[in-house]
Structure 1
Amino acid sequence: MQYRKLGKTDLSVSEISLGTWQVGGKWGDPFSHENADQILNAAVDRGINFIDTADVYGDGESEKAVGRLVRSRSEQVYVATKCGRQLQPHTNDAYQPEALRKFVEQSLRNMQLDTIDLIQLHCPPTEVYYRPEIFEVFDRLKEEGKIRHLGVSVEKVEEGLKALTFPNVCSIQLIFNMFRQRPQELLFQEAKRHNVGLIVRVPLASGLLTGKFSRDTTFSADDHRQFNREGAAFDKGETFSGVDYEVGLEAVEALKKVFPDQPNLAPIALRWVLMFDEVSCVIPGASKPSQLESNLKAAELPAITDEQMQQVRAIYDQRIRPLVHYTW
């Protein structure tokens, strides 16, 4: 495992880390603490030292599992969680400093930890990024020892660029993958200039970039890959990176021709993300240990060639860019 500095923080994080949206089971399944414990401990066994969770994952059960892991291991494991998505309705007006403080304190109780290494605003409405008082409350929480660092999880490039104007923002979590390439143009450059770390989520486009899906693949009714394709529950960009499923399947077939010796595209898709030095880590999820092992194979792959990088870009430009580039 290789490690990279997380922006201006003192954290050196595993370049392949772990996201826990589905760590307690596949999307739509009840949360399984036994399954979560297996995956989380296997991750630490393999050198992963950075775990990303959120208070809404499994309605707090994911945080409980992560906290149990940290308390049970002797290794240094950094915890990143998120706050804000519990707000109903999830609007700019609902974002208030006192509400965010309560969420942070509840996360500490869920995990039974004294301090959160990285707290992140969880994809708030764009207007929130223009309200200094929202960011100031985290300075108070840091002074109180409840958090170490502040980050943001964003949907849009605009939100990431605005977040960079707040000095206490240490990291930006964003969607970046072979089907979502816009961030590398300006946001990566500005994040590097501000010494802000980049945490990449949805690196496999909700599984599309594994190359294992087909037109015959079915998803359960309570799986977001079924019910959120048009953004019925949350931003559609979180589901297949906002790419039409049929278009995505065709683009994946083109990618397979670029990497004909890769029976599973997932490791190469993760390796592609890590080709960008501005990225601090990538946080693919796993609903079973075998998926974790698949993700970790990316660390063993050689660098992608310049020619292959250009071919991936060409596929994006021809098939994907017109559909998603300027939406997020």
Structure 2
Amino acid sequence: MNQRPFGQAGQAVSEIGFGAWAIGGSWGDVSESDAKAALHAALDSGTTFIDTADVYGDGRSERIIAAVLKERGGPRPFVATKAGRRLDPHSAEGYTAANLNAFVDRSLKNLETDCLELVQLHCPPTEVYYRPEVFEAMDAMVTAGKIRHYGVSVEKVEEGLKAIEYPGVKSVQIIYNIFRQRPADLFMREAQDRGIAVIVRVPLASGLLTGKMTADTRFAADDHRNFNREGQAFDKGETFAGVPYDVALEAVDRIRSLVPQGVTMAQFALRWILMNRGVTTVIPGAKNAEQAKANCAASEVPALTESAMATLRAMYLETIAPFVHHQW
């Protein structure tokens, strides 16, 4: 597993991390045994970065991670969680020092640790990025020793660019994949110049870029790919990267011919993300051990050819960009 420096944190992490949303909830049923097996497999394959959130299964994801790490013992991987989405309503006014401290205290308990390695503001309303007092509250938690570092998880490129103006922000989590290429235009360079770690989520466009979905694929009632296609529960860009399902399926068919023999489409899509040196780690999810191992193997896939990269860029500009580029 290749490693990349985590911005200014003074350590390196695996370039393929483990996204722990699926083992928490909103991806259909995942048993606790499968969830633990997936995480064990990722760690056995060299993953040293785990991303979770306090709302993933209302803490289930954090608790499963704590249990697995207790079972394994030894050096602790870099565990990042998030705070803010427990607010109801989810408004900028709710991002107070008192609320953020309460969320962090709950995550400390769930993850069974006395200091959280990284806490990310969890896709807060855009107005939050213009409230210095929010970032001052995070600075205070660093000073108090509750958290070691903090960052933000953003929906929009503009939010990421605003966030890195705050000196305490050490990382930005953002959607970046073959169907969401805008971050490469400016954001990645700015983050790299400032020494900001970049965590890439939704790398497979909610599974579309595995190449396994068809027009007949059906999703469970509690799977966000069923209930959030138009943003009914949260930003629609989190589901299928915001691309209309039928448009995405046509694009996936065009991508198939570019995938080298012996490489899965998912591994190809992950390797495309890693071609950008501004990326620190990418966090695909996994529901079982087999998926986790396959994701980690993407670290060893050879670099994509210039021709393949150019073809994917042209396809994006022609087919996908009209639906997503201006929105996020």
TM-score tier, shorter chain, comes to over 0.9
CA contact (8 A) 2:7 2:170 kept: yes
Q: Deviations over 1:123-169 (max 9, x none)?
A: 00000000011011111111111111011000000100000110000
How many residue pairs are counted as aligned between the two chains? 327
1:230 is displaced (CA, Å) by 0.4
Gaps of 5+ in 1: none
1:189 is displaced (CA, Å) by 1.1
Distance 1:156 1:293, change over 3 A: same
1:262 is displaced (CA, Å) by 5.5
Distance 1:191 1:263, change over 3 A: closer
CA contact (8 A) 1:25 1:36 kept: no
Counterparts of 2:144 and 2:65, CA distance in 1: 22
Counterparts of 1:25 and 1:110, CA distance in 2: 16
1:263 is displaced (CA, Å) by 6.3
State the partner residue of 1:68: 67
CA contact (8 A) 2:42 2:296 kept: no
State the 4+ residue runs in structure 1 displaced beyond 4 angstroms. Answer: none
1:218 aligns with 2:183: no
| Residues 90-169 of structure 1: pairs in structure 2 closer than 5 A | 90-169=90-169
Q: Deviations over 1:187-226 (max 9, x none)?
A: 0111011110100000000000001101111112221111
1:46 is displaced (CA, Å) by 1.0
Counterparts of 1:170 and 1:236, CA distance in 2: 26
One-letter code aligned to 2:37:
Q
Counterparts of 2:140 and 2:259, CA distance in 1: 49
CA contact (8 A) 1:199 1:280 kept: yes
One-letter code aligned to 1:270:
L
1:76 is displaced (CA, Å) by 3.2
Counterparts of 1:264 and 1:216, CA distance in 2: 21
Secondary structure of the corresponding residue to residue 8 of structure 2: coil
State the partner residue of 2:184: 184
Counterparts of 1:10 and 1:289, CA distance in 2: 30
State the partner residue of 2:285: 285
Moved more, 209-218 or 251-260: 251-260
Counterparts of 1:221 and 1:23, CA distance in 2: 16
Counterparts of 1:263 and 1:107, CA distance in 2: 37
1:45 is displaced (CA, Å) by 1.0
1:56 aligns with 2:55: yes
State the partner residue of 1:229: 229
1:194 aligns with 2:185: no
Counterparts of 1:163 and 1:184, CA distance in 2: 17
CA contact (8 A) 1:212 1:264 kept: no
One-letter code aligned to 2:228:
N
CA contact (8 A) 1:21 1:53 kept: yes
Q: Deviations over 1:88-133 (max 9, x none)?
A: 0001122211100110011001111011111000000000000011
Q: Deviations over 1:166-197 (max 9, x none)?
A: 00000000000000000001101110111101
Gaps of 5+ in 2: none
Counterparts of 2:26 and 2:155, CA distance in 1: 23
* Identity across matched positions, percent: 53
One-letter code aligned to 2:327:
T
Secondary structure of the corresponding residue to residue 313 of structure 2: helix
